[in-house]
A and B are shown apart, each in its own frame.
Chain A
Amino acid sequence: MMAELGLAALWLAAALAILQLVTGIWSMRAPELVAITGAVRPVTILQAVFAALSFTVLLYLFAVTDLSVELVAANSHTAKPLLYKITGAWGNHEGSMLLWVTVMALSGALIAGVEYRLPERTMQAVLACQGFVAAGFYAFLLFSSNPFARLPQPLAEGNGLNPLLQDVGLALHPPTLYIGYVGLSVAFSFAVGALVTRQVTPDFARAMRPWVLGAWVFLTLGITAGSYWAYYELGWGGWWFWDPVENASLMPWLAATALLHSVSVLAARDALRTWTLMLGVLAFSMSMLGTFLVRSGILTSVHAFAVDPQRGTFILILLAIYIGGALLLFALRAGAVAEGERFSVASRESALVVNNVLLTAILGIVLLGTLYPLLAEAFGERVSVGPPYFNLVGAIFALPMLAVLAIGPLLRWRRDSLQRISRPLIVLAAVGGAALVLTAVLFGVGFLPLAGLVLAAVLAVASVMPLSGRNLRRVPLAVWGMVAAHLGVAAALFGMASESAFTSERLVALAPGQATQVGPWQVRFAAVQPVAGPNWTALEARLEARIGTGAPVVLTPQARSFWAPAQQTTEAALATSWNGQLYAVMGGAADDGRWQIRLWWKPFVTFIWYGGGLIALGGALSLAGRVADDLKRRRVRARGARRRAQMVPA
């Protein structure tokens, strides 16, 4: 009964999405029909209610492990802890697509509920577009990925969930990532709405900015959480592998980052109008492309768990309609939208243009490297594009981008000169020179990590410079946000470069009682013992690590055996200190009573995720500042209106 309720709710939500499209277009055509124009927002909200109901039903089915439902039987198991039963609801193709449309519906409802700054016609176009996109993905769910299909006979026991997914990471990473990923649909619809009504103004940008910021914050958090999850869960010490699925989340982030800056230029200076619309279309297009890559099973990667070509074709058609349609609209209308205000070479706008173009170029490189192996395979050639390619080619564009990122915030809008900021520039050059000499002389590191370390030092200093000489209590929240985010970039860059330059690794076979050395740590293998969890048993090593004669830190890596499904995994153990992480993995037993132990000492690796968190925090601060400003402006405007109303009778 519950499964049928979920399915009925999903059908209703799909029907409401189509109604949303129809009423949206109709009310643009006939603004005098109040019955129609007044219906667009309620329909949008109702669509979200039914989508959320459908998703809640799926959560319930997983929570109670209803084994008469095909999806639950295929992906869950009664012996799983409740948390993983619930999170398992989106640890599969159908469930994650349902989460996708639910987020899409909720973000649509959010703008329908609170967004009143746009011209009404633009808003109707926005909601129509939102309904149009949602309708396609509902169709995809209902016709090729129904999560509520029943089995002819309920199974006695389910197949269980991939043990790698049985982790809190699954509770955090996909929902945050999807809120970001799909939240960008709002920016897409805004861009389409503005192209339809040809109204691209600073007011439009101010309305668009918080939605972009919000999605971007979640996307940043989602990617950061996913990276850390992969790092500790997969047990090989890597935090980013340029895997197509990782790239699928990075590409919308790159586009959204560019969009975020471009929309700020539009809001502050009424420049870069078409560029902002283009990026708005691009960001969510990359989200949809990512969905296609991950969900079509076209990739063979550690992340792709489902393979079904029929689904791939379906999503490909949706992509062609939505991305193709939006690009066509852009091509037809972009000429009608004037580019806006001009600016000189040395100005903050110019720096932002350079960064936008370079971010988009990096996006192009990632796209090329991700899709090329697929294209080559279609022509019968098998090639691999991996970290060595992305790191080098990406860096060619990223290094100048980061250099401009250091200088841009120091420049004034519209017109400035490098002479005016010569003093900060000299300071930055000195910091860079000192960092270069220090790292090059003290440690022999490769070119890319060296460039990363130097740029990180420069960027860290540069990012706080906009605060110098200001009364800190009067600095707007949005400026704090910018400072935090840029400092986060410096921190993440430092972590990446340090991890790449200074990691030490040991792979040893030890008998209990023996010790080894990795980096500054002496690690003693004290004992091995069996332990049991709710749905696994494991062998656990007890490692005592110490630096010099310091107090020992105990690490307990495990080699786990799950029984549903039967699978072996390794649970890495991590010891975090302020200056890095010691990472331990337990391998198999050698025949002479020794055990394989793999150890890494990764100096400052944690800065990668601190940086990611700081970037997201910056976005959140900026969002809070913008919303507070907007509310204040609204209050002032309302007070003014009241006064005028009072004066009329007199």
Chain B
Amino acid sequence: MTRTLSLAAAALAACLIAWTAVPAAAQDALPPAPYAYRELDDSRQEAAARALMHDLRCVTCQGQSIADSDAPMAGDMRHFVRTRIAAGQNAEEVRGWLEQRYGDYISYRPSFGRATWPLFVLPVLLGLIALVIILRRVGGTRSAVQ
């Protein structure tokens, strides 16, 4: 009984996915934005754009940067980054704009803030602990040998 129920639920879910997938597929069928798969002519600007793209997270695929993703959304973001850099903005301005819009999640490089301070404080603490352990182990035993 539960088996049939779960099968029915699965079928329903499959239908729902198929239904919601239609508009998404239609969207994917649009040609990618011009600079999704095109380099900027200025190689220095392209390098700056590329460096930034490696630091930005693809929000639809997760676990990949927009530089590495073939998702349409990542392509749109690449287009955005390239056109902004081409328009003369620097990488940090573009990153800041994206962070404001999408939150800290978008950037693989966490910036110091309310939600991220432990990422910076704990390594310092860890360094201090490491130093204390090293000094105690190594320094404290000098007299024992001499």
Interface residues of A, Cβ cutoff 8 Å to B: 152, 234, 236, 238, 241, 243-244, 299-303, 342-345, 350, 353-354, 357-358, 360-361, 364-365, 368-369, 372, 376, 381-389, 393, 396-397, 414-415, 505-509, 570, 587-588, 591, 596
Contact = CB atoms under 8 A, between A and B. Distances in A.
B105 interface: yes
27 contacts: A152-B3, A234-B68, A241-B68, A244-B63, A300-B62, A301-B63, A302-B64, A344-B141, A344-B142, A344-B145, A350-B138, A357-B134, A361-B130, A364-B126, A368-B118, A368-B122, A368-B123, A376-B115, A381-B115, A383-B110, A384-B108, A386-B55, A387-B54, A388-B109, A505-B50, A570-B70, A588-B37
Contacts of A397: 127, 130
Q: Is the interface of A mostly helix, strand, loop or mixed?
A: mixed
A389 to B, nearest CB: 6
B101 interface: no
| Candidate in A244, A300, A376 with the most chain B CB atoms within 10 angstroms | A376
Contacts of A358: 130
B123 A393 contact: yes
Contacts of A369: 119
Contact of A396 (B107, B109, B127): B127
B50 A385 contact: no
A343 B138 CA distance: 8
Contacts of A342: 141, 144-145
Contacts of B106: 384
Interface in B126-146: 126-127, 129-130, 133-134, 137-139, 141-142, 144-146
Contacts of A388: 55, 108-109
Contacts of B139: 345
Contacts of B107: 384
A344 B145 CA distance: 6
A398 to B, nearest CB: 12
Contact of A354 (B61, B115, B118, B138): B138
Interface in B47-88: 50, 54-55, 57, 61-65, 67-70
A353 B134 contact: yes
B122 to A, nearest CB: 6
The 5 A-B residue pairs with the shortest CB-CB distance, nearest first, are: A386-B108, A236-B68, A388-B109, A301-B63, A381-B115
A14 B103 CA distance: 47
Given A152-B3, A372-B119, A507 B57 contact: no
Contacts of B109: 386, 388-389
Nearest to A272: B137
B119 A389 contact: yes
B83 to A, nearest CB: 15
Contacts of B27: none
Nearest to B138: A350
Given A236-B64, A301-B63, 20 more contacts: A236-B68, A299-B63, A301-B62, A302-B61, A344-B141, A353-B137, A354-B138, A357-B130, A357-B137, A358-B130, A368-B118, A368-B122, A376-B115, A382-B104, A383-B119, A384-B57, A385-B108, A385-B110, A386-B65, A591-B31
A302 B71 CA distance: 13
A343 B143 CA distance: 9
Contacts of A386: 55, 57, 65, 108-109
Contacts of A505: 50
A85 B134 CA distance: 51
Contacts of B127: 361, 396-397
A66 B104 CA distance: 47
Assign chain B's interface to a size class.
35 or more
B3 to A, nearest CB: 6
Contacts of A393: 123
Contacts of A385: 108, 110, 119
Contacts of B103: 382
A236 B138 CA distance: 45
A243 B63 contact: yes
A345 B138 contact: yes
A381 B105 CA distance: 9
A521 B125 CA distance: 48
Given A381-B115, A382-B104, A383-B105, A415 B145 contact: yes
Nearest to B109: A388
B91 to A, nearest CB: 12
Contacts of B57: 384, 386
B68 A238 contact: yes
Nearest to A377: B105
A205 B94 CA distance: 55
Contacts of B123: 364-365, 368, 393, 396
| Candidate in A152, A244, A350, A509 with the most chain B CB atoms within 10 angstroms | A350
A191 to B, nearest CB: 19
Contacts of A591: 31
| Candidate in B63, B103, B104, B139 with the most chain A CB atoms within 10 angstroms | B63
A389 B141 contact: no
A587 B37 contact: yes
A389 B120 CA distance: 10
B89 interface: no
Contacts of A509: 37-38
A368 B127 CA distance: 13
Nearest to A379: B115
Contact of A236 (B37, B67, B118, B137): B67
Given A384-B104, A384-B106, A507 B115 contact: no
A441 B119 CA distance: 35
A490 B143 CA distance: 35
Given A234-B68, A368-B119, A506 B144 contact: no
| Candidate in A234, A238, A243 with the most chain B CB atoms within 10 angstroms | A238
A357 B108 contact: no
Nearest to A360: B130
A414 B145 contact: yes
A354 B64 contact: no
B108 A506 contact: no
A397 to B, nearest CB: 7
Contacts of A570: 70
Given A381-B115, A384-B104, A587-B37, A361 B126 contact: yes
Contacts of A236: 64, 67-69
Contacts of A360: 130
| Candidate in A345, A384, A570 with the most chain B CB atoms within 10 angstroms | A384
A389 B110 contact: yes
Nearest to B102: A382
A506 B137 CA distance: 52
Interface string B33-49: 00001110000000000
Given A301-B63, A389-B110, A415-B145, A506 B134 contact: no
A383 B142 contact: no
B32 to A, nearest CB: 8
Contacts of B122: 364, 368
B145 A343 contact: yes
Contacts of B63: 241, 243-244, 299-303
B14 to A, nearest CB: 12
Contacts of A238: 68
